[in-house]
Amino acid sequence: MNKRSKQKIKTEDNMQIGTIFSSGGNSRYAAILEKVSEIGFLNFYYDNSIGKIIRQYFVWDSSQFVLHSTSEE
C-alpha cells in the first residue's frame, strides 16, 4: 500500500486548489463517490501507465477536501 500524507496544491495567496480525477463507477455521466466516514470519501481510477487501480481517500479539513492517502491495487 502506497500511502501519502495530506497533499495540497498551494498558490501565491495560500489558497489550496486542485482537481479530482475519477473514472470509476457504473454511470456514464457522473462518478459516484463512496462515503467512508463522516468527513471523507473514496475515489478511484485506473492508471494505464502502471496498469493498476488507484484508490484515493479524501477528507474535509474545514474548508475543502484534501487527499489523505492513496493506495494501488
| pLDDT tens readout for residues 26-57 | 777 788 888 999 999 999 989 999 999 999 99
What integer pLDDT is reported at residue 5 of this predicted model?
Answer: 44
17: confidence class by pLDDT, cuts 50, 70, 90: low
- Tell which residue, 21, 32, 29, 18, has the closest CA to residue 65: 18
CA–CA separation, 8 and 48 (whole Å): 24
